[in-house]
Amino acid sequence: MMRFLLALFLAINFISSVSYAADYQSVLETINHYKGQIVTVNDLDEDARQFFTESYKGKEPGIIRADFNGDGKEDVAILTKGALLFFICKERCKEIKSQDYGGFASFQYIIPIQKGELVEEFGGFDNQPPTPSVRLKNTAVHLIFFGKASIAYYWDSKIINFSDITTGD
């Protein structure tokens, strides 16, 4: 009986430690899967909504469609009311990164940072050396916490994933 319980315990821990990455057929299917969870203009508080609608006419505060990794194919970043999700799309769209940001939907949105722009860190934190500036090779995602802080997420070909730089406080 003890062996069975031990085996069951180990199996449950193994299953719970396996991470699941979402996988969809297309950018549109990916977006449709998260419909109802994606941050919209109506989710933003009054000040953030006014700023966003005036500054980014026709844009959605929770979706960026762009080529993030430089392969010539459209990828997608989705800001839900709980997390920022990054999907790289080749034959299928696969979730590459998920960053939890729950509880801030009323004043957070994402905007693109164009290829070629220089992204610099907003000062050093806790006596840490500043992150080196990055000249973007591809479009990046700028997560804005309206009036609070901002973080730039860019494709880092060295680690084959997204890296980030805090760009505002």
Would you mind telling me the total number of residues written for the chain in this entry?
A: 169
Per residue in 120-161, pLDDT tens?
A: 987 655 666 677 899 999 999 999 988 778 999 999 999 999
Report how far residue 120's alpha carbon sits from residue 116's, in angstroms, rounded to the nearest whole number: 13
Q: How far is CA 144 from the centre of its chain?
A: 11
Looking at the predicted structure, is the pLDDT value of residue 168 above 90?
no
For the record, the structure tokens of 109 come out as: 């949105």
Q: How many domains does the chain have?
A: 1
pTM: 0.82
Per residue in 68-111, pLDDT tens?
A: 999 999 999 999 998 999 999 999 999 999 988 766 667 899 99
Report how far residue 121's alpha carbon sits from residue 134's, in angstroms, rounded to the nearest whole number: 9
For residue 53, give its domain range: 20-168
- The pLDDT score that the predictor gives to residue 3 is 40
Cα–Cα–Cα angle for 61, 103, 65, nearest 5°? 25
- The pLDDT score that the predictor gives to residue 37 is 93
Task: Examine residue 109 and state whether it is found in any structural domain, yes or no.
Answer: yes
Task: Examine residue 6 and state whether it is found in any structural domain, yes or no.
Answer: no
Task: Examine residue 4 and state whether it is found in any structural domain, yes or no.
Answer: no
Task: Examine residue 61 and state whether it is found in any structural domain, yes or no.
Answer: yes
Task: Examine residue 90 and state whether it is found in any structural domain, yes or no.
Answer: yes
The secondary element (H helix, E strand) that includes residue 54 is helix 46-55
Amino acid identity of residue 120, one-letter, is E
For the record, the structure tokens of 150 come out as: 């901002």
Task: Examine residue 8 and state whether it is found in any structural domain, yes or no.
Answer: no
Task: Examine residue 82 and state whether it is found in any structural domain, yes or no.
Answer: yes
Cα–Cα–Cα angle for 122, 125, 129, nearest 5°? 90
Task: Examine residue 73 and state whether it is found in any structural domain, yes or no.
Answer: yes
- The pLDDT score that the predictor gives to residue 121 is 87
Identify the bridge partners of residue 118 per DSSP, sorted by sequence position. 135
